């Protein structure tokens, strides 16, 4: 329970900091991933261990990139980038769901979509692309659904994703404002 609650609190802090475009969000992101890795190990969720380990590395990279002047400005994805991430999301979801169908995963398609879209959203968050918040918005809605309909509901994580859905909207508008100001 401590690890789930700790990850939730760290995720909330990180969410507020990233919405405010603060580099320190990555510190809380990294700490949250460490909590989630420990939680997943204890609960024998080895796929989540791998997934959260990737996020841990992405958190370190994000922390480094947000200190560089070239990556410090918020921009939008080009049409080509949007097509690419939508195609990757579609085929990645299909591919991962086919793998997960061969396991005891109770929600393979939903789990595949949230996994793939989270990786894409985190990548674009590292690159300070406004599009990340559109991806996170849909991702968080589907994560909330996933955690709610799991046989053993993960209510803290459900609540966190409901809050993150709202924060994605706030983050989108705040980042858009910052982008227009040229910061």
- pLDDT score, position 183: 63
- pLDDT score, position 41: 82
Looking at the 3D structure of the chain, how many domains does it have? 1
Res. 86: pLDDT tops 70: yes
Interval 3-31: pLDDT, tens: 888 998 999 999 999 999 999 999 999 99
Count of CA atoms in the C-beta half-sphere (13 A) of 89: 20
pTM (predicted TM-score):
0.86
Interval 105-158: pLDDT, tens: 888 898 889 989 999 999 999 999 999 999 999 999 998 998 888 777 678 888
- For residues 130 and 173, what is the distance between their CA atoms, to the nearest angstrom? 9
Residue 132: give the domain boundaries: 2-181
């Amino acid at each position: 329970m401590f690890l789930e609650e700790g990850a939730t609190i760290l995720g909330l802090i990180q969410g507020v900091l990233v919405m405010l475009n603060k580099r320190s969000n990555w510190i809380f992101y990294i700490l949250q991933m460490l909590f989630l890795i420990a939680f997943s190990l204890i609960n024998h969720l080895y796929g989540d261990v791998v997934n959260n380990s990737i996020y841990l590395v992405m958190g370190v990279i994000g922390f480094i990139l947000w200190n560089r002047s070239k990556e410090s400005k918020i921009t939008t994805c080009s049409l080509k980038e949007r097509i690419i991430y939508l195609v990757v999301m579609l085929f990645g979801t299909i591919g991962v769901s086919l793998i997960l169908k061969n396991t005891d995963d109770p929600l393979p398609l939903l789990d595949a979509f949230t996994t793939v879209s989270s990786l894409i959203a985190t990548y674009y968050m590292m690159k300070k692309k406004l599009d990340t918040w559109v991806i996170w918005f849909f991702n968080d809605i589907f994560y909330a659904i996933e955690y709610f309909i799991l046989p053993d509901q993960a209510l803290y994580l459900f609540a966190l994703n409901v809050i993150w859905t709202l924060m994605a909207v706030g983050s989108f508008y705040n980042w858009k404002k910052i982008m227009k100001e040229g910061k």
